[in-house]
């Protein structure tokens, strides 16, 4: 059976692997790539062992069912401990982190030629920070991990970015996330002191802070600090402006990490911390947050049509998909929460795959301008087929993982607000148009004038095909057999609902209206038939 003391070593192995990659760069560029690949494969194997192995849930202090839980004092005089835990939500996100880390390494195999060792050090450092964020159950440790994540991401964008504005994009990303993170730090310290005065014990322990009695006004202000940090990372409109620039200027690996993992830590923060720590204020904020989710869905989707840069188009589509995540989180029922997890997994794979595809195309034709593309299917049919399936996943085609998630979110939202669910459904329609539009502009139609004869038009290599079709295979598995992922996260979501005391099972005003209509129809059915059938 896997032992809880293994959890800190997950972080350490990533970081040591990064140092080994950096040191091996002196031996040649293949060494850092190989070391990073081996480390990520080993960690993926470990996550699969925890998922499929004989690990049994255990009851953690303060309530909550965890598969593994590790505790150790760190700075006891200030109530700071090293607390790591893995439940169903964390486990799925750790699996996603390893998968996308592998994708980032393989997709950058030939494109990264400068400071290869340092590049892979930053990549593994980044993955270790994500793992720490997903496992941390001490709020001080969570904040440290949150801030540490920014440094390697800054280097990935600023050093290995494609365009002249890469430093601008990296600084913009850093400022947005740093300022919002400081607001969260103020809220964490406020919660720390409020709990200390109420309980007589000053601690950052997540399980202890769950039971903190907080005055209503104070709780709402503290919640806003957390909300700001998570909303920037998600990102929520209008706090999204750092995302398109970071995606456009960063290398393919950074885009995969940004779309697949950075956006997910915002959603994870809402799930793990906002509702459990501040259930009352979160419930009051829910109508506003859900409205922002719908705005993000439609705003991100509509801006896709204004883009000429294929990479920027995919970036704006991420804003739209994350709107569904925000909508599902604040609907806060089992359907919407399970759908949120499925979107997080499927979006990381489908959008990450699209970024890899755009990067591969850019290496061949040295442009991402869709006005200079067209007619590529005839020379690259395998790449065209992969792009078509990934685009279909992005638009929510039944049979692929994205559809399962978005359908469950809309179903859960319908129980809370019929108008918001109805408007959000328009996101499906708009996504269908822009997803097929990008495939038509890139792979079909006539070639761009004066461009085709200068391009190196060769189809997917074995390395590229393994990445693209491997991600497609997982998306198909999530779409056709989603129960494995749903079963893994169900218990954790039920526990979060139990901790928050909000199940969203009581009827809302919309449901009361429908129940009244049902009662009216039932009364109508009970009336004597005005036109009885003629007697035979």
For residue 535, the model assigns a pLDDT of: 38
Q: Name the phi and psi angles at 425, rounded to 5.
A: -60, -25
DSSP classification of residue 115:
S
pLDDT for position 11: 93
Residue 531: its pLDDT value, please? 38
Long-range CB contacts (within 8 A, 24+) of 77-82: 78/140, 78/202, 79/192, 79/196, 79/201, 79/202, 79/203, 79/204, 79/205, 80/138, 80/140, 80/141, 80/204, 81/138, 81/141, 81/203, 81/204, 81/205, 82/8, 82/138, 82/141
Q: Which residues of the chain have pLDDT under 70?
A: 1-3, 54-64, 163, 448-456, 504-536
The separation between the first and the last C-alpha atoms of the chain, rounded to the nearest angstrom, is: 75
Model-level pTM?
Answer: 0.89
Peptide bond into 238 cis (omega under 30): yes
Residue-level pLDDT at 66: 84
Q: 210 by DSSP, 3-state: which?
A: coil
Report the alpha-carbon distance of residue 214 to residue 199 in Å, rounded: 11
């Amino acid at each position: 059976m896997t032992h809880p003391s293994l959890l800190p070593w997950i972080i350490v192995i990533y970081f040591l692997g990064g140092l080994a990659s950096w040191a091996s760069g002196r031996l040649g560029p293949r060494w850092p790539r190989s070391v990073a690949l081996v480390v990520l494969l080993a960690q993926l194997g470990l996550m699969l062992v925890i998922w499929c192995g004989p690990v049994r849930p255990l009851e953690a202090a303060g309530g909550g069912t965890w598969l593994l839980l590790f505790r150790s004092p760190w700075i006891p005089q200030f109530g700071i401990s090293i607390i790591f835990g893995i439940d169903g939500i964390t486990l799925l996100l750790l699996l996603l982190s390893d998968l996308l880390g592998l994708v980032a390494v393989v997709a950058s195999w030939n494109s990264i030629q400068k400071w290869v060792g340092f590049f892979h050090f930053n990549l593994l450092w980044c993955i270790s920070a994500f793992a720490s964020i997903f496992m941390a159950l001490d709020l001080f440790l969570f904040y440290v991990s949150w801030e540490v994540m920014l440094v390697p991401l800054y280097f990935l964008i600023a050093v290995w970015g494609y365009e002249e504005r890469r430093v601008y994009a990296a600084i913009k990303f850093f400022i947005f996330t740093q300022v919002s993170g400081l607001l969260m730090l103020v809220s964490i310290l406020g919660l720390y002191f409020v709990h200390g005065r109420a309980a007589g014990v000053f601690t950052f322990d997540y399980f202890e802070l769950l039971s903190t009695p907080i005055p209503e006004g104070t709780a709402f202000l503290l919640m806003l600090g957390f909300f700001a940090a998570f909303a920037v990372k998600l990102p929520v409109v209008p706090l999204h402006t750092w995302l398109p620039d970071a995606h456009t200027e960063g290398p393919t690996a950074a885009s995969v990490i940004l779309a697949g993992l950075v956006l997910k830590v915002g959603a994870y923060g809402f799930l793990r911390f906002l509702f459990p720590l501040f259930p009352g204020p979160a419930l009051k904020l829910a109508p506003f947050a859900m409205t922002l989710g719908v705005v993000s869905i439609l705003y991100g989707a509509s801006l896709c049509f204004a883009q000429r840069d294929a990479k920027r188009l995919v970036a704006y589509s991420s804003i739209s998909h994350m709107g569904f995540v925000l909508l599902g989180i604040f609907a806060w029922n089992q359907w919407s929460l399970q759908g949120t997890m499925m979107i997080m997994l499927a979006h990381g794979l489908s959008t990450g795959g699209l970024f890899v595809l755009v990067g591969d195309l850019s290496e061949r034709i040295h442009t991402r301008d869709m006005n200079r593309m067209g007619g590529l299917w005839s020379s690259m049919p395998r790449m065209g087929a992969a792009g078509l399936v990934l685009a279909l996943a992005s638009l929510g085609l039944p049979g692929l993982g994205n559809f399962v998630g978005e359908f469950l979110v809309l179903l859960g939202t319908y129980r809370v607000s019929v108008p918001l669910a109805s408007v959000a459904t328009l996101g499906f329609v708009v996504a269908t148009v822009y997803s097929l539009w990008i495939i038509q502009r890139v792979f079909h139609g006539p070639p761009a004038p004066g461009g085709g004869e200068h391009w190196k038009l060769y189809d997917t290599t074995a390395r590229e095909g393994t990445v693209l079709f491997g991600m497609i295979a997982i998306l198909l598995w999530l779409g056709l057999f989603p129960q494995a992922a749903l079963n893994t996260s169900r218990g954790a979501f039920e526990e979060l609902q139990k901790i928050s005391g909000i199940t969203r099972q009581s009827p809302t005003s919309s449901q009361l209206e429908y129940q009244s209509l049902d009662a009216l129809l039932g009364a109508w059915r009970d009336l004597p038939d005005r036109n009885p059938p003629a007697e035979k």
